[in-house]
Amino acid sequence: MNIKIIILANLLVSFQAYANLFNSDQKMFTENEKNSVSVFENTVNSVVNVSSISTRSQRSSFFFDLPDSEVPAGAGSGFIWNKEGYIVTNFHVIQSGQKFQISFHNDKKVYSAKLIGVEPKKDIAVLKLIKPPEELSPIQVGRSKDLRVGQKTLAIGNPFGLDHTMTTGIVSAVGRKVKGIGGVKIHDMIQTDAAINPGNSGGPLINSRGELIGMNTQILSGSGTSSGVGFAVPVDTVKRIVPEIMKHGKVIRPGLGIGILPEHIKNRFGVEKGIVISHVDPKGGAAKAGLQGVGQDKWGNIYLGDIIIKIDGNPVDSFDDIYHALDKYKVGDSVNVEYIRDEEKENVKLKLMEL
């Protein structure tokens, strides 16, 4: 009986010593450091390394055909969207690849993934693991609508191949419009001074609660490395685009059913404001509303088509303007189009069709 009491007492002493040591270590951290450590430990398993591989045909020899070779085409980061194995990353990370490999934190195995779909104009791509690991940790999704300048940000990714690296900073600005890889500006971009370098693309930007607030996408730098000016696609955009790609394999966008004259040709005609319709799709909303494209009279003279100047009150002067004017509409919605024909302003309501 006495021996049991002694053993129990020794265990209690050992436990108390461990507890004191733990508490002593905790006191060494500031509250901000404790938060950073907690966010990293709770989020790191949701972040993945994305590698894209391209297949190249080799020149045949005189005697036999050489097999195709596989070469690295790009690398970046991504994050687990749900327990079904969907992974979100940047379009520019995977655009040159035909095969995709995913690696996880503290897991030496490499997993294959297939491409589900992309939205280049938002620089978003969705992959799906073919045979996922038994345990997946989807990222906790927050929102970006109410972000304030000065809020803490944390970025986790694979800069220069250094897997699962975390950097910290703040929200430097919100509502930025940044030219993306898809040829139009991405609106509402989050600017952060958390260090973002090559390899961070596609990785999560996280708040102090460990919630996804954006996807790290670009840096503004003369040297190609972090200069404290990084940009992330806002999570509210990601939440809108990703489910549509998962469901349809693409983003179904509404359109007016028109083509427009390129900027340099429009300028030759002396048009400074608005967009000039080059042609209309006979089955589109514009044709049904009576809008007209560039035409030619019986003598061979070319005359301008209608010049659209506003869509639901939003001025439009370029393709970029049209894209964003229609960005929040759905197929089947109606919009009011203000246009100029024969120097007279006119209005028409038209139904948006699927592009």
Q: Are 102 and 45 in contact (CB under 8 A)?
A: no
Question: φ, ψ for residue 34 (rounded to 5)?
Answer: -60, -40
Running DSSP on this structure, what letter comes out for residue 158? -
Determine which one of 46, 52, 92, 324 is catalytic. 92
143/156 Cα distance (integer angstroms): 18
The neighbour count for residue 3, using CB atoms within 10 Å, is: 7
Is 201 annotated as catalytic?
yes
Contacts of 212 (CB under 8 A, 6+ apart): 79, 139, 140, 141, 142, 204, 205, 206, 235, 238
Distance set, CA 244 to CA 58, 90, 200, 279 (Å)? 38, 16, 25, 29
- From residue 165, alpha-carbon distances to 8, 41, 352 in Å are 43, 12, 45
Question: Which residue in 51, 52, 77, 123 is the catalytic one?
Answer: 123
Q: Is 92 a catalytic residue?
A: yes
Nearest alpha-carbon partner for 226 in 234, 216, 235 = 216
Two structure tokens written together for 49 = 């390394």
Q: Give Cα 197 to chain centroid, integer Å.
A: 16
Identify the active-site residue in 164, 201, 226, 236. Answer: 201
Least Cα distance to 324 among 129, 180, 215, 213 occurs for: 180
- The letter for the amino acid at 122 is K
Q: Active-site residue 60, yes or no?
A: no
> CA-to-CA distance for 36 and 42, rounded, in angstroms?
10
Residues catalogued as catalytic: 92, 123, 201
